[in-house]
Structure 1
Amino acid sequence: MMLKNKPHIIFSAIAAFIIYSCSSLKDKDILGRYNLEAKISKGSLILNENNVFEYSYEAPMETYTSKGKWHLDKKSIILKSDDFYLSDFMDVKETFSENRIIKILDESNIPIEGVTIKINDINNLFVTDKSGIVSLRNDMKIDKIIVEYIGLSNRLYEVKNFNAKAFEIRIIPKDYTKMFFDNYHGKINNKEIKIYTQKYIKDK
């Protein structure tokens, strides 16, 4: 009985190996340029040998680009943009100081006047002065800082070190000319790569 089943087992193993080998993609298999051509939009995705990708998309009232690293995971391509393309966030430094203050800066480290700030769940609002600063009582405990700023959707910051007295907040607002891929999984099927709902087809 075992002898009869042995050829069948060997054949099944060989068949499985062939199927797996054929279905597994390699980096060299997908290198090149992929294009999107739709009625009102166009775009491209270029996969280079050094695992760097370049991405662009154009549509009415909407144009953005991205660049970063890519790698394969089975039948998916993973895209991770360079930090340069990250926007819509606050970069916060918690420091120790004699005075309890919050200072708001723009992405070029220039103080911003007139920014409204809410502390914790207190209804009182504070507004930055010409130096981008809000001065607070030294005995005031700060758990959360909410910054009201146009172009910033993630406005809440939760304090990490409750012994910190000064907070320097640099605002990087949403940049609609940039696309940030955070380990995004794009599906690969034959000579197509699907990014969100759009299909990019490989150049011949």
Structure 2
Amino acid sequence: TFMNIIIGGVLCGVGIGLAFTHNGSTGGTDIVAAMVSKRSNVSIGRMMIYCDFLIISSSFFLFYQIDKVVYGLVVTFLASFMTDQVINTNRQAVQFTIISRYWEEIATAINNEARRGCTVLSGMGWYTKHEVKMLIVMCRKIESVTIFRIVKSIDKDAFITQANVNGVYGQGFDMVKLKMKPSKNHDGLQEPAHAVPHDAIKQE
């Protein structure tokens, strides 16, 4: 029974994750999870745990079978964990630091082929005492192979570092889900976050 629960929970979580990655849903409590996740930074899987935990726990007062409650909670945690794993696989980002003499060609190729932006930084190699240019590139984890292929096709001796980042927000990536606190004016009253400052209002 326990092995059936583990296999079923994993398959259920993978199915829900695939449905969400294609803008779908299963019509259950994951709809509530999707609505909350859209307005806050709470993940879909975590919100599913909150909802299903209350539902499954309350079933104890109807059937008084603690083993069924435990089995249900195990399925809930497994399904929620796998849902987050499937969804976050397509959202994981990496940061590349590329040092090469052909930095202009590499940056142009990344813009045109990978459709990603580059940031050029100036530095100095302390061993050679020569100035170098460094490229900072942010991309999805599934696009990292494309970046490696571009760099190696132009400069086989390029120095490359790759690091996983917890989150990338901005154009081409995720949006920051954060509620701004209202600011206070000179009289101590609260103003909307996007209110026009008093100094900017023209006196007539």
Under TM normalisation by the shorter chain, which class is it?
under 0.3
Higher gyration radius (CA): 1
Higher strand share: 1
Which has more helix, going by share of residues? 2
**TM-score normalised by the chain length of structure 2:** 0.27
Compare relative contact order (CA 8 Å, sep 6+) and give the higher one, 1 or 2.
1
